[in-house]
Structure 1
Amino acid sequence: MKVVAPKAFTLEGGKRAVLLLHGFTGSTKDVKRLGQYLQKRGYTCHAPMYRGHGLTPEELLLTSPSEWWQDVVDGYNHLKNLGYEEIAVAGISLGGVFSLKVAEEFPVKAVVSMCAPIKRNNTDGLFDRLYNYAKIYKSFEGKPTEVIIDELETLKNTNTESLHGVHEITETTCDGLQRINSPILVMQGSLDDEIYQKSASYIHETVETDDKEIIWYKESGHIITLGKEKEKVCEDVYEFLNHIDWIAS
Protein backbone atom coordinates (compact mmCIF):
# COMPACT_ATOMS: atom_id res chain seq x y z
CA MET A 1 0.00 0.00 0.00
CA LYS A 2 1.34 3.42 -0.94
CA VAL A 3 1.51 5.84 1.99
CA VAL A 4 0.33 9.33 1.06
CA ALA A 5 2.63 11.97 2.52
CA PRO A 6 1.07 14.91 4.37
CA LYS A 7 1.53 18.28 2.69
CA ALA A 8 2.29 21.86 3.64
CA PHE A 9 -0.80 23.87 4.46
CA THR A 10 -1.91 27.49 4.69
CA LEU A 11 -5.04 28.32 6.69
CA GLU A 12 -6.11 31.92 6.20
CA GLY A 13 -7.92 33.46 9.13
CA GLY A 14 -6.78 37.05 9.70
CA LYS A 15 -3.96 39.60 9.47
CA ARG A 16 -1.93 38.01 12.28
CA ALA A 17 0.25 35.20 10.94
CA VAL A 18 1.80 32.17 12.62
CA LEU A 19 4.49 29.92 11.13
CA LEU A 20 3.97 26.36 12.43
CA LEU A 21 6.89 23.90 12.40
CA HIS A 22 6.77 20.11 12.80
CA GLY A 23 9.38 17.76 14.25
CA PHE A 24 12.01 15.32 12.96
CA THR A 25 10.33 12.28 11.29
CA GLY A 26 7.06 14.11 11.91
CA SER A 27 4.84 16.00 9.52
CA THR A 28 2.41 18.87 9.31
CA LYS A 29 -0.04 16.59 11.14
CA ASP A 30 1.95 17.51 14.29
CA VAL A 31 0.62 21.07 14.10
CA LYS A 32 -2.59 20.79 12.02
CA ARG A 33 -4.98 20.82 14.99
CA LEU A 34 -3.22 23.85 16.47
CA GLY A 35 -3.38 25.62 13.10
CA GLN A 36 -7.10 24.95 12.75
CA TYR A 37 -7.74 26.14 16.31
CA LEU A 38 -5.88 29.41 15.69
CA GLN A 39 -7.49 29.94 12.27
CA LYS A 40 -10.98 29.82 13.82
CA ARG A 41 -9.86 32.59 16.17
CA GLY A 42 -8.53 34.98 13.57
CA TYR A 43 -4.98 33.84 12.83
CA THR A 44 -3.52 32.85 9.48
CA CYS A 45 -1.29 29.78 9.83
CA HIS A 46 1.26 28.29 7.46
CA ALA A 47 3.09 25.00 8.04
CA PRO A 48 5.85 23.92 5.63
CA MET A 49 6.63 20.24 5.08
CA TYR A 50 10.36 19.53 5.28
CA ARG A 51 11.98 17.68 2.41
CA GLY A 52 12.13 13.91 2.89
CA HIS A 53 9.53 13.91 5.66
CA GLY A 54 6.35 11.90 5.26
CA LEU A 55 8.28 9.64 2.86
CA THR A 56 10.24 6.43 3.43
CA PRO A 57 13.03 6.61 6.03
CA GLU A 58 15.49 5.87 3.23
CA GLU A 59 14.28 8.94 1.31
CA LEU A 60 14.44 11.06 4.45
CA LEU A 61 18.14 10.20 4.83
CA LEU A 62 18.79 11.49 1.32
CA THR A 63 17.90 14.99 2.53
CA SER A 64 19.75 17.16 5.04
CA PRO A 65 18.96 19.41 8.03
CA SER A 66 20.21 22.40 6.03
CA GLU A 67 17.51 21.64 3.45
CA TRP A 68 14.88 21.34 6.20
CA TRP A 69 16.00 24.69 7.56
CA GLN A 70 15.68 26.19 4.08
CA ASP A 71 12.11 24.88 3.99
CA VAL A 72 11.48 26.76 7.25
CA VAL A 73 12.95 29.96 5.80
CA ASP A 74 10.85 29.49 2.65
CA GLY A 75 7.79 29.10 4.90
CA TYR A 76 8.56 32.37 6.66
CA ASN A 77 9.06 34.11 3.30
CA HIS A 78 5.82 32.55 2.03
CA LEU A 79 3.90 34.46 4.70
CA LYS A 80 5.88 37.61 3.92
CA ASN A 81 5.09 37.26 0.21
CA LEU A 82 1.39 36.90 1.04
CA GLY A 83 1.61 40.31 2.66
CA TYR A 84 1.81 39.43 6.35
CA GLU A 85 3.96 41.94 8.22
CA GLU A 86 3.59 40.47 11.70
CA ILE A 87 4.61 36.83 12.06
CA ALA A 88 4.82 34.64 15.16
CA VAL A 89 6.49 31.23 15.05
CA ALA A 90 5.62 28.02 16.91
CA GLY A 91 7.29 24.65 16.60
CA ILE A 92 7.50 21.26 18.27
CA SER A 93 10.58 19.08 18.86
CA LEU A 94 13.06 19.87 16.04
CA GLY A 95 10.43 22.39 14.93
CA GLY A 96 10.86 23.97 18.37
CA VAL A 97 14.59 24.33 17.72
CA PHE A 98 13.81 25.81 14.32
CA SER A 99 11.31 28.24 15.89
CA LEU A 100 14.07 29.52 18.18
CA LYS A 101 16.45 29.82 15.23
CA VAL A 102 13.83 31.80 13.29
CA ALA A 103 13.50 34.15 16.27
CA GLU A 104 17.28 34.59 16.32
CA GLU A 105 17.59 35.39 12.62
CA PHE A 106 14.33 37.07 11.56
CA PRO A 107 11.88 39.62 12.97
CA VAL A 108 9.12 37.73 14.79
CA LYS A 109 6.22 38.96 16.89
CA ALA A 110 6.49 36.04 19.32
CA VAL A 111 7.91 32.53 19.58
CA VAL A 112 6.46 29.31 20.98
CA SER A 113 8.95 26.51 21.67
CA MET A 114 7.41 23.10 22.37
CA CYS A 115 9.57 20.19 23.60
CA ALA A 116 12.69 21.50 21.84
CA PRO A 117 15.86 19.40 22.47
CA ILE A 118 18.23 22.36 22.68
CA LYS A 119 20.60 20.47 25.04
CA ARG A 120 21.08 17.45 22.75
CA ASN A 121 24.66 16.15 23.03
CA ASN A 122 24.72 13.67 20.14
CA THR A 123 22.66 12.06 17.39
CA ASP A 124 21.93 8.74 19.14
CA GLY A 125 18.35 9.63 19.98
CA LEU A 126 17.77 10.85 16.43
CA PHE A 127 18.54 7.45 14.93
CA ASP A 128 16.22 5.81 17.47
CA ARG A 129 13.47 8.17 16.30
CA LEU A 130 14.23 7.32 12.68
CA TYR A 131 14.25 3.58 13.41
CA ASN A 132 10.89 3.73 15.18
CA TYR A 133 9.49 5.81 12.34
CA ALA A 134 10.76 3.19 9.87
CA LYS A 135 8.97 0.37 11.71
CA ILE A 136 5.67 2.23 11.70
CA TYR A 137 6.00 3.43 8.10
CA LYS A 138 6.86 0.00 6.72
CA SER A 139 3.96 -1.56 8.61
CA PHE A 140 1.60 0.98 7.04
CA GLU A 141 2.99 0.00 3.65
CA GLY A 142 1.71 -3.51 4.36
CA LYS A 143 5.04 -5.23 3.87
CA PRO A 144 5.54 -8.80 5.19
CA THR A 145 7.25 -9.05 8.57
CA GLU A 146 10.35 -10.74 7.15
CA VAL A 147 10.79 -7.94 4.57
CA ILE A 148 10.43 -5.29 7.29
CA ILE A 149 13.06 -7.04 9.43
CA ASP A 150 15.50 -7.16 6.49
CA GLU A 151 14.94 -3.52 5.58
CA LEU A 152 15.34 -2.38 9.19
CA GLU A 153 18.63 -4.29 9.40
CA THR A 154 19.79 -2.57 6.22
CA LEU A 155 18.77 0.78 7.68
CA LYS A 156 21.09 0.17 10.65
CA ASN A 157 24.01 0.01 8.23
CA THR A 158 22.94 3.02 6.17
CA ASN A 159 25.04 6.17 6.21
CA THR A 160 23.34 8.54 8.66
CA GLU A 161 25.83 11.37 8.16
CA SER A 162 23.03 13.83 7.50
CA LEU A 163 21.79 13.47 11.08
CA HIS A 164 24.96 15.16 12.36
CA GLY A 165 23.68 18.36 10.80
CA VAL A 166 20.81 18.35 13.31
CA HIS A 167 23.32 18.48 16.15
CA GLU A 168 25.19 21.35 14.49
CA ILE A 169 22.01 23.41 13.97
CA THR A 170 20.94 22.71 17.56
CA GLU A 171 24.31 23.81 18.95
CA THR A 172 24.30 27.01 16.89
CA THR A 173 20.75 27.79 17.98
CA CYS A 174 21.61 27.11 21.62
CA ASP A 175 24.54 29.52 21.40
CA GLY A 176 22.25 32.25 20.05
CA LEU A 177 19.43 32.03 22.62
CA GLN A 178 20.46 35.29 24.27
CA ARG A 179 19.68 37.09 21.00
CA ILE A 180 15.97 36.32 21.39
CA ASN A 181 14.15 39.39 22.66
CA SER A 182 10.66 38.59 21.36
CA PRO A 183 8.00 37.33 23.81
CA ILE A 184 8.40 33.57 24.25
CA LEU A 185 6.29 30.71 25.55
CA VAL A 186 8.12 27.47 26.40
CA MET A 187 5.87 24.41 26.59
CA GLN A 188 6.99 21.00 27.84
CA GLY A 189 5.48 17.61 28.59
CA SER A 190 6.36 16.34 32.08
CA LEU A 191 6.41 12.72 30.83
CA ASP A 192 8.92 13.53 28.08
CA ASP A 193 12.54 12.33 28.17
CA GLU A 194 14.97 14.12 30.49
CA ILE A 195 16.84 15.88 27.66
CA TYR A 196 13.68 17.75 26.65
CA GLN A 197 12.79 18.69 30.20
CA LYS A 198 16.28 20.07 30.84
CA SER A 199 16.12 21.91 27.54
CA ALA A 200 12.82 23.60 28.41
CA SER A 201 14.20 25.03 31.64
CA TYR A 202 17.43 26.10 29.94
CA ILE A 203 15.61 27.92 27.13
CA HIS A 204 13.38 29.74 29.60
CA GLU A 205 16.34 30.81 31.73
CA THR A 206 18.63 31.84 28.86
CA VAL A 207 16.53 33.89 26.42
CA GLU A 208 17.03 37.65 26.77
CA THR A 209 13.39 38.76 26.79
CA ASP A 210 11.57 39.57 30.02
CA ASP A 211 8.26 38.55 28.46
CA LYS A 212 8.63 34.81 28.90
CA GLU A 213 6.63 31.96 30.36
CA ILE A 214 7.07 28.21 30.79
CA ILE A 215 4.15 25.76 31.04
CA TRP A 216 4.47 22.10 32.01
CA TYR A 217 1.89 19.49 30.98
CA LYS A 218 1.71 16.80 33.63
CA GLU A 219 -0.06 14.17 31.53
CA SER A 220 1.86 14.70 28.29
CA GLY A 221 4.92 13.17 26.69
CA HIS A 222 6.78 14.50 23.67
CA ILE A 223 4.33 15.52 20.94
CA ILE A 224 2.08 17.55 23.23
CA THR A 225 0.02 18.85 20.29
CA LEU A 226 -1.37 15.33 19.82
CA GLY A 227 -1.36 14.09 23.41
CA LYS A 228 -3.91 13.94 26.23
CA GLU A 229 -3.69 17.67 26.87
CA LYS A 230 -3.79 18.79 23.23
CA GLU A 231 -6.81 21.03 23.78
CA LYS A 232 -5.10 22.79 26.69
CA VAL A 233 -2.01 23.25 24.51
CA CYS A 234 -4.10 24.99 21.85
CA GLU A 235 -5.79 27.18 24.44
CA ASP A 236 -2.47 28.19 26.01
CA VAL A 237 -0.86 29.07 22.66
CA TYR A 238 -3.90 31.17 21.74
CA GLU A 239 -3.93 32.95 25.11
CA PHE A 240 -0.20 33.68 24.80
CA LEU A 241 -0.50 35.04 21.25
CA ASN A 242 -3.47 37.17 22.26
CA HIS A 243 -1.50 38.99 24.96
CA ILE A 244 0.98 40.20 22.33
CA ASP A 245 0.69 43.82 21.20
CA TRP A 246 -0.19 43.18 17.56
CA ILE A 247 -0.63 46.15 15.22
CA ALA A 248 -2.92 44.14 12.94
CA SER A 249 -6.40 43.54 14.30
Structure 2
Amino acid sequence: MTTAPHAETFHSDGTPDASGRRVGVLLSHGFTGSPASIVPWGRYLAEQGYAVAVPRLPGHGTTWQDMTTTRYDDYYAEIEREFDALRARTDVVVVGGLSMGGCLVLQLAERRADQVAGVVLVNPAVNSTNKQLLLLPVMKHLVKAFPGIGSDIKKEGVVESAYDKTPLKPLASMVAAWKQVRAGLGEVTAPVLLFRSAEDHVVDPSSARIILDGIASADVTERVLAESYHVATLDNDAPQIFAESAEFVARVTSQVAAS
Protein backbone atom coordinates (compact mmCIF):
# COMPACT_ATOMS: atom_id res chain seq x y z
CA MET A 1 0.00 0.00 0.00
CA THR A 2 1.36 3.44 -0.99
CA THR A 3 2.13 5.80 1.86
CA ALA A 4 0.61 9.26 1.53
CA PRO A 5 3.18 12.09 1.08
CA HIS A 6 2.17 13.72 4.36
CA ALA A 7 2.66 10.46 6.25
CA GLU A 8 6.38 10.03 5.72
CA THR A 9 8.43 9.15 8.80
CA PHE A 10 11.06 11.49 10.20
CA HIS A 11 14.46 10.59 11.63
CA SER A 12 17.41 12.76 12.59
CA ASP A 13 20.87 11.77 13.79
CA GLY A 14 21.31 14.57 16.30
CA THR A 15 24.58 15.97 17.58
CA PRO A 16 26.49 15.14 20.79
CA ASP A 17 25.97 17.52 23.70
CA ALA A 18 28.73 19.26 25.66
CA SER A 19 29.55 16.03 27.51
CA GLY A 20 29.72 14.03 24.30
CA ARG A 21 26.43 12.22 24.83
CA ARG A 22 23.80 11.80 22.14
CA VAL A 23 20.21 12.30 23.36
CA GLY A 24 17.31 10.60 21.56
CA VAL A 25 13.60 11.44 21.45
CA LEU A 26 10.96 9.00 20.17
CA LEU A 27 7.57 10.53 19.25
CA SER A 28 4.36 8.67 18.36
CA HIS A 29 1.29 9.91 16.50
CA GLY A 30 -2.25 8.89 17.39
CA PHE A 31 -5.02 6.56 16.27
CA THR A 32 -5.98 6.98 12.55
CA GLY A 33 -3.46 9.83 12.31
CA SER A 34 0.00 9.87 10.79
CA PRO A 35 3.49 11.31 11.36
CA ALA A 36 2.15 14.57 9.90
CA SER A 37 0.70 15.48 13.31
CA ILE A 38 4.06 14.97 15.03
CA VAL A 39 6.79 15.80 12.50
CA PRO A 40 6.76 19.59 13.18
CA TRP A 41 7.42 18.78 16.85
CA GLY A 42 10.12 16.31 15.85
CA ARG A 43 11.82 18.82 13.54
CA TYR A 44 11.89 21.41 16.32
CA LEU A 45 13.59 18.95 18.68
CA ALA A 46 16.02 17.92 15.94
CA GLU A 47 16.99 21.58 15.55
CA GLN A 48 17.96 21.53 19.24
CA GLY A 49 20.45 18.78 18.43
CA TYR A 50 18.45 15.74 19.53
CA ALA A 51 18.32 12.47 17.59
CA VAL A 52 14.62 12.14 16.78
CA ALA A 53 12.49 9.23 15.56
CA VAL A 54 8.91 9.74 14.35
CA PRO A 55 7.67 6.35 13.03
CA ARG A 56 4.51 5.60 11.09
CA LEU A 57 2.33 3.10 12.94
CA PRO A 58 1.17 0.02 10.97
CA GLY A 59 -1.97 0.63 8.91
CA HIS A 60 -1.67 4.41 9.20
CA GLY A 61 -0.89 6.97 6.53
CA THR A 62 -2.34 4.88 3.69
CA THR A 63 -6.09 4.11 3.69
CA TRP A 64 -8.49 3.33 6.50
CA GLN A 65 -9.24 0.00 4.82
CA ASP A 66 -5.57 -0.88 5.17
CA MET A 67 -5.82 -0.19 8.89
CA THR A 68 -8.67 -2.66 9.46
CA THR A 69 -6.26 -5.62 9.60
CA THR A 70 -4.03 -4.02 12.24
CA ARG A 71 -4.38 -3.99 16.02
CA TYR A 72 -3.04 -2.13 19.05
CA ASP A 73 -0.36 -4.77 19.62
CA ASP A 74 0.98 -4.03 16.13
CA TYR A 75 1.29 -0.35 17.01
CA TYR A 76 3.06 -1.07 20.28
CA ALA A 77 5.47 -3.48 18.58
CA GLU A 78 6.47 -0.73 16.14
CA ILE A 79 7.06 1.75 18.96
CA GLU A 80 9.19 -0.78 20.82
CA ARG A 81 11.19 -1.55 17.68
CA GLU A 82 11.86 2.14 17.04
CA PHE A 83 12.81 2.63 20.68
CA ASP A 84 15.40 -0.13 20.50
CA ALA A 85 16.80 1.29 17.26
CA LEU A 86 17.04 4.76 18.78
CA ARG A 87 18.70 3.43 21.96
CA ALA A 88 21.27 1.67 19.81
CA ARG A 89 22.48 5.00 18.39
CA THR A 90 22.08 7.26 21.43
CA ASP A 91 23.04 7.32 25.11
CA VAL A 92 19.69 8.27 26.65
CA VAL A 93 16.10 8.41 25.32
CA VAL A 94 12.97 10.41 26.15
CA VAL A 95 9.62 9.31 24.69
CA GLY A 96 6.53 11.31 23.78
CA GLY A 97 3.18 10.86 22.13
CA LEU A 98 -0.13 12.39 21.10
CA SER A 99 -3.44 10.71 22.03
CA MET A 100 -3.00 6.93 21.48
CA GLY A 101 0.67 7.72 20.98
CA GLY A 102 0.69 8.83 24.60
CA CYS A 103 -0.80 5.51 25.63
CA LEU A 104 1.85 3.64 23.64
CA VAL A 105 4.79 5.47 25.18
CA LEU A 106 3.29 5.13 28.66
CA GLN A 107 3.19 1.37 28.15
CA LEU A 108 6.80 1.52 27.00
CA ALA A 109 7.71 3.45 30.15
CA GLU A 110 5.97 0.77 32.20
CA ARG A 111 7.84 -2.11 30.56
CA ARG A 112 11.20 -0.32 30.13
CA ALA A 113 11.22 1.79 33.29
CA ASP A 114 15.00 1.56 33.60
CA GLN A 115 15.55 2.67 29.98
CA VAL A 116 13.16 5.64 29.59
CA ALA A 117 14.60 8.94 30.84
CA GLY A 118 11.38 10.93 30.54
CA VAL A 119 7.85 10.92 29.13
CA VAL A 120 6.03 13.77 27.33
CA LEU A 121 2.29 13.32 26.82
CA VAL A 122 -0.09 15.44 24.73
CA ASN A 123 -3.77 14.70 25.34
CA PRO A 124 -3.00 11.04 26.05
CA ALA A 125 -5.79 8.46 25.80
CA VAL A 126 -6.12 5.62 28.32
CA ASN A 127 -9.83 5.88 29.12
CA SER A 128 -13.15 7.24 27.89
CA THR A 129 -16.48 8.10 29.46
CA ASN A 130 -18.20 7.59 26.07
CA LYS A 131 -20.75 4.84 26.70
CA GLN A 132 -20.88 4.00 22.98
CA LEU A 133 -17.51 2.30 23.33
CA LEU A 134 -19.16 -0.36 25.48
CA LEU A 135 -20.87 -1.58 22.30
CA LEU A 136 -17.60 -2.14 20.43
CA PRO A 137 -17.32 -5.91 21.15
CA VAL A 138 -20.57 -6.40 19.23
CA MET A 139 -20.46 -3.50 16.78
CA LYS A 140 -17.03 -4.43 15.42
CA HIS A 141 -18.61 -7.54 13.87
CA LEU A 142 -21.48 -5.59 12.31
CA VAL A 143 -19.90 -2.35 11.09
CA LYS A 144 -16.44 -1.81 9.60
CA ALA A 145 -16.03 1.82 10.56
CA PHE A 146 -17.50 4.88 12.25
CA PRO A 147 -17.02 8.49 11.08
CA GLY A 148 -13.50 9.84 11.55
CA ILE A 149 -12.19 11.60 14.67
CA GLY A 150 -9.35 13.55 13.08
CA SER A 151 -8.58 17.27 12.74
CA ASP A 152 -9.94 18.39 16.11
CA ILE A 153 -7.95 21.62 15.80
CA LYS A 154 -8.91 25.13 16.92
CA LYS A 155 -6.48 26.96 14.64
CA GLU A 156 -8.14 28.08 11.43
CA GLY A 157 -7.10 26.37 8.20
CA VAL A 158 -5.11 23.53 9.80
CA VAL A 159 -5.98 19.86 9.15
CA GLU A 160 -4.48 16.72 10.62
CA SER A 161 -4.53 14.57 7.47
CA ALA A 162 -6.11 11.71 9.44
CA TYR A 163 -8.52 9.09 8.11
CA ASP A 164 -12.13 10.11 7.53
CA LYS A 165 -13.23 6.76 8.97
CA THR A 166 -12.51 5.04 12.29
CA PRO A 167 -12.10 1.26 11.78
CA LEU A 168 -13.89 -0.54 14.60
CA LYS A 169 -11.76 -3.66 15.05
CA PRO A 170 -8.56 -1.66 15.59
CA LEU A 171 -10.50 0.73 17.83
CA ALA A 172 -11.82 -2.15 19.92
CA SER A 173 -8.28 -3.51 20.31
CA MET A 174 -7.06 -0.13 21.58
CA VAL A 175 -9.90 0.24 24.06
CA ALA A 176 -9.23 -3.29 25.34
CA ALA A 177 -5.53 -2.44 25.79
CA TRP A 178 -6.33 0.59 27.92
CA LYS A 179 -7.16 -1.62 30.90
CA GLN A 180 -3.71 -3.21 30.83
CA VAL A 181 -1.97 0.14 30.45
CA ARG A 182 -3.96 1.65 33.34
CA ALA A 183 -3.11 -1.34 35.53
CA GLY A 184 0.60 -0.80 34.91
CA LEU A 185 0.78 2.95 35.55
CA GLY A 186 2.44 2.37 38.90
CA GLU A 187 5.49 1.05 37.03
CA VAL A 188 6.10 4.47 35.45
CA THR A 189 8.87 6.14 37.46
CA ALA A 190 10.41 8.44 34.84
CA PRO A 191 9.74 12.21 34.95
CA VAL A 192 6.49 13.10 33.16
CA LEU A 193 5.39 16.28 31.37
CA LEU A 194 1.69 16.15 30.49
CA PHE A 195 -0.04 18.67 28.22
CA ARG A 196 -3.85 18.67 28.33
CA SER A 197 -6.17 20.83 26.26
CA ALA A 198 -8.87 22.60 28.26
CA GLU A 199 -11.28 21.79 25.41
CA ASP A 200 -10.77 18.43 23.72
CA HIS A 201 -13.51 16.84 21.60
CA VAL A 202 -11.77 13.45 21.27
CA VAL A 203 -10.23 12.54 24.66
CA ASP A 204 -12.10 13.52 27.82
CA PRO A 205 -10.37 14.68 31.06
CA SER A 206 -10.66 11.25 32.72
CA SER A 207 -7.50 10.01 30.95
CA ALA A 208 -5.26 12.73 32.36
CA ARG A 209 -6.70 12.29 35.86
CA ILE A 210 -6.12 8.53 35.77
CA ILE A 211 -2.55 8.93 34.53
CA LEU A 212 -1.58 11.59 37.06
CA ASP A 213 -3.15 9.61 39.91
CA GLY A 214 -1.63 6.29 38.81
CA ILE A 215 2.00 6.91 37.90
CA ALA A 216 4.74 6.54 40.50
CA SER A 217 6.90 9.35 39.09
CA ALA A 218 8.17 11.87 41.62
CA ASP A 219 8.78 14.49 38.91
CA VAL A 220 5.41 15.35 37.29
CA THR A 221 4.32 18.53 35.52
CA GLU A 222 0.86 19.21 34.05
CA ARG A 223 0.21 22.01 31.59
CA VAL A 224 -3.31 23.03 30.53
CA LEU A 225 -3.52 24.35 26.97
CA ALA A 226 -6.12 27.10 26.63
CA GLU A 227 -6.00 27.68 22.86
CA SER A 228 -5.89 24.17 21.40
CA TYR A 229 -8.22 21.25 20.86
CA HIS A 230 -7.14 17.59 20.66
CA VAL A 231 -4.38 17.75 18.03
CA ALA A 232 -2.47 20.33 20.05
CA THR A 233 0.83 19.58 18.28
CA LEU A 234 -0.60 21.34 15.19
CA ASP A 235 -2.69 23.91 17.05
CA ASN A 236 -2.22 27.35 18.59
CA ASP A 237 -0.29 26.04 21.60
CA ALA A 238 2.20 24.01 19.55
CA PRO A 239 5.06 26.48 20.17
CA GLN A 240 4.57 26.04 23.94
CA ILE A 241 4.62 22.24 23.59
CA PHE A 242 7.76 22.34 21.46
CA ALA A 243 9.70 24.75 23.69
CA GLU A 244 8.71 23.23 27.04
CA SER A 245 9.32 19.68 25.86
CA ALA A 246 12.80 20.66 24.64
CA GLU A 247 13.55 22.16 28.06
CA PHE A 248 12.17 19.01 29.71
CA VAL A 249 14.36 16.74 27.59
CA ALA A 250 17.45 18.80 28.43
CA ARG A 251 16.67 18.77 32.14
CA VAL A 252 15.78 15.10 32.63
CA THR A 253 18.64 13.82 30.49
CA SER A 254 21.13 15.98 32.36
CA GLN A 255 19.82 14.45 35.59
CA VAL A 256 20.48 11.00 34.16
CA ALA A 257 24.05 12.04 33.34
CA ALA A 258 24.55 13.40 36.84
CA SER A 259 23.31 10.21 38.45
Match of residue 148 from structure 2 = 132
Q: 1:130 to 1:9 in 2, by over 3 A?
A: farther
Counterpart secondary structure, 2:26: strand
Q: What is the CA-CA distance between 1:193 and the residue it aligns to?
A: 3.4
Match of residue 11 from structure 1 = 12
Does 2:209 match 1:198?
A: no
Q: 1:129 to 1:221 in 2, by over 3 A?
A: farther
Match of residue 44 from structure 1 = 51
Q: What is the CA-CA distance between 1:201 and the residue it aligns to?
A: 2.4
Q: Distance in 2 between matches of 1:11 and 1:231?
A: 20
1:1-249 equivalent positions in 2, closer than 5 A: 3-4=4-5, 6-14=7-15, 15-81=22-88, 83-106=89-112, 107-120=115-128, 124=132, 131-132=147-148, 160-193=168-201, 195-244=203-252, 245-247=255-257
Counterpart secondary structure, 1:12: coil
Q: Is the 8 A contact 2:203 2:230 kept in 1?
A: no
CA offsets 1:182-224 (integer angstroms, 9 cap, x no match): 1011111111138432211221222101100100001111011
Counterpart secondary structure, 1:181: coil
Q: Distance in 2 between matches of 1:61 and 1:124?
A: 19
Counterpart secondary structure, 1:225: helix
Counterpart secondary structure, 1:88: strand
Q: List alignment gaps of at least 5 residues for structure 1.
A: 135-151
> Letter of the aligned partner of 1:247 in structure 2?
A
User: CA RMSD of the aligned region, Å?
Assistant: 2.7
CA offsets 1:49-83 (integer angstroms, 9 cap, x no match): 111101111111121211111111111111123x2
Q: Distance in 2 between matches of 1:71 and 1:118?
A: 19
Q: Distance in 2 between matches of 1:247 and 1:96?
A: 25
TM-score under structure 1 length normalisation:
0.81
Q: Compare the two structures and name the one with the higher helix fraction.
A: 1
Q: Distance in 2 between matches of 1:247 and 1:30?
A: 31
Aligned length: 225
Q: Distance in 1 between matches of 2:234 and 2:6?
A: 18
Q: What is the CA-CA distance between 1:246 and the residue it aligns to?
A: 3.9
Q: What is the CA-CA distance between 1:163 and the residue it aligns to?
A: 2.3
Q: What is the CA-CA distance between 1:230 and the residue it aligns to?
A: 0.8
After TM superposition, the structure 1 stretch with the greater mean CA deviation from structure 2, 238-247 or 188-197, is: 188-197
Counterpart secondary structure, 2:223: strand
Counterpart secondary structure, 1:73: helix
TM-score under structure 2 length normalisation:
0.78
> Letter of the aligned partner of 2:70 in structure 1?
T
Q: Distance in 1 between matches of 2:23 and 2:131?
A: 36
Q: List alignment gaps of at least 5 residues for structure 2.
A: 16-21, 151-163
Q: 1:170 to 1:122 in 2, by over 3 A?
A: farther
Q: 1:219 to 1:61 in 2, by over 3 A?
A: same
